[in-house]
């Protein structure tokens, strides 16, 4: 096998080696069936068992209460930017939704939400280039709104909510795409949470929704069947041919999380990785410039800049030559970004730290 890089890509992200090996091993013959997992019907008992086991594993690892329903849906994370209002806006007659603007994907969610709802941005950190999570004025939590939307981890700018806002009776909706299963979260704080699968759950193109059951049955009657949360929950994700490969990989990812000690073990590892990396970058303050303010920094996406674009290009190229892959920041944001999701081992972060120290000596 060729040498595998330490892959800091923001997504689709690296997967754990045991998961990749298992896919390889059973690629031609899933479960002794003499066929690949992508060559079997989604409606036969063997596949349904896999799908329902995946749902159960996710419920168990998230410790989701019984009144929350789980469904897998086509279309990834950003599809939910439209589906959230289309499914929830009719909860209240004002058809109003509140949003917190914390970065690129939050901004996109707001733009998409505005097509289907009267949107009010109640807090934003845009004025400081999204380097923090803004405080919410409790008076802004309009009870006439159908929900409040937040992006719990901001993948592009590298900030993360430590705790989630108390919203009273207002359903909290969370985009957890880039942090699901990276730390324990109290699901009961949310009315609905969703995540594209391509970070900690495997394959791009699908998302998972976890929704409190009393919020269902409010979808627009014009909603296509496949985009209707209520229908999907009723059909247990089988409203049409589900993405069978993505479900299979999600199943293996969940089993890997469980075998590794569960979400608390993921959190401990993630905290250690982030602590070490932020500490090293902070130690070379005049050379590396961390973007996010202390107390707001993401444990998943570490963002920083160097003094010139040329130095940043050299950092990315020299890192690549040493097997540290995909450290370039988002094209709309620039700089450097190290995405260190669940599958990034501590050794990968240590390798990046060693490289970053050497780079200072070489160019400082």
Ligand X SMILES: Cc1ncc(COP(=O)(O)O)c(C=O)c1O
* Site residues (vs ligand X, CB under 6 A): 10-11, 76-78, 105, 151, 155, 175, 177-178, 196, 204
DSSP conformational letter for 94:
T
When the beta carbons of 198 and 251 are compared against ligand X, the nearer one is 198
Q: How far is the CB of 194 from ligand X (least distance, A)?
A: 9
Question: Distances in Å between the alpha carbon of 321 and those of 11, 281, 318?
Answer: 21, 20, 5
When the beta carbons of 173 and 306 are compared against ligand X, the nearer one is 173
Residue among 305, 329, 313, 320 at smallest CA distance from 352: 320
Return the residue matching tokens 């709802």.
Answer: 117
**CB within 8 A of 272, min separation 6: which ones?**
346
- Three-state DSSP state, 267: helix
CA-CA-CA-CA dihedral for 263, 337, 281, 309, to nearest 10: 180
Q: How far is the CB of 243 from ligand X (least distance, A)?
A: 12
- Three-state DSSP state, 159: strand
Q: How far is the CB of 269 from ligand X (least distance, A)?
A: 20
When the beta carbons of 92 and 337 are compared against ligand X, the nearer one is 337
Number of alpha carbons in the 13 Å side-chain half-sphere of residue 67 = 9
Residue among 139, 136, 142, 131 at smallest CA distance from 164: 136
When the beta carbons of 76 and 345 are compared against ligand X, the nearer one is 76
Q: How far is the CB of 140 from ligand X (least distance, A)?
A: 22
When the beta carbons of 165 and 174 are compared against ligand X, the nearer one is 174
When the beta carbons of 118 and 204 are compared against ligand X, the nearer one is 204
Q: How far is the CB of 178 from ligand X (least distance, A)?
A: 4
Q: How far is the CB of 330 from ligand X (least distance, A)?
A: 9
């Amino acid at each position: 096998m060729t040498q595998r890089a330490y892959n800091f890509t923001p997504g689709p992200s690296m997967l754990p080696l045991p998961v990749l090996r298992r896919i390889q091993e059973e690629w031609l013959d899933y479960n002794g069936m003499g066929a690949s997992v992508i060559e079997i019907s989604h409606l036969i008992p063997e596949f349904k068992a896999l799908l329902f086991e995946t749902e159960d594993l996710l419920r168990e690892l998230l410790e989701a209460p019984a009144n929350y329903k789980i469904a897998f849906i086509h279309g990834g994370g950003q599809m939910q930017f439209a589906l959230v209002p289309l499914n929830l806006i009719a909860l209240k007659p004002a058809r109003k939704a509140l949003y917190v603007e914390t970065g690129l994907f939050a901004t996109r969610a707001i733009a998409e939400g505005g097509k289907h709802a009267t949107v009010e941005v109640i807090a934003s950190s845009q004025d400081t280039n999204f380097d923090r999570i803004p405080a919410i004025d409790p008076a802004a939590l309009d009870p006439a709104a159908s929900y409040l939307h937040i992006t719990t981890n901001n993948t592009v700018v590298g900030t993360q909510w430590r705790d989630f806002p108390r919203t009273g009776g207002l359903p909290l909706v969370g985009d957890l795409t880039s942090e699901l299963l990276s730390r324990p979260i109290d699901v009961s704080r949310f009315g609905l949470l969703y995540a594209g699968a391509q970070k900690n759950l495997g394959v791009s193109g699908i998302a998972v929704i976890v929704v409190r059951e009393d919020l269902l049955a409010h979808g627009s009657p014009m909603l296509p069947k496949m985009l209707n949360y209520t229908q999907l929950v009723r059909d247990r994700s089988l409203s049409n041919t589900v993405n069978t490969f993505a479900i299979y990989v999600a199943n293996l990812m969940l089993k890997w999380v469980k075998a590794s000690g569960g979400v608390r073990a993921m959190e401990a590892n993630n905290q250690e990785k982030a602590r070490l990396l932020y500490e090293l970058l902070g130690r070379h303050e005049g050379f590396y410039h961390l973007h996010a303010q202390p107390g707001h920094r993401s444990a998943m996406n570490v963002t920083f800049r160097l003094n010139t674009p040329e130095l940043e290009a050299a950092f990315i190229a020299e890192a690549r030559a040493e097997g540290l892959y995909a450290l370039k920041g988002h094209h709309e944001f620039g700089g450097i970004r190290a995405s260190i999701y669940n599958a990034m081992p501590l050794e990968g972060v240590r390798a990046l730290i060693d490289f970053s120290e050497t780079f200072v000596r070489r160019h400082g």
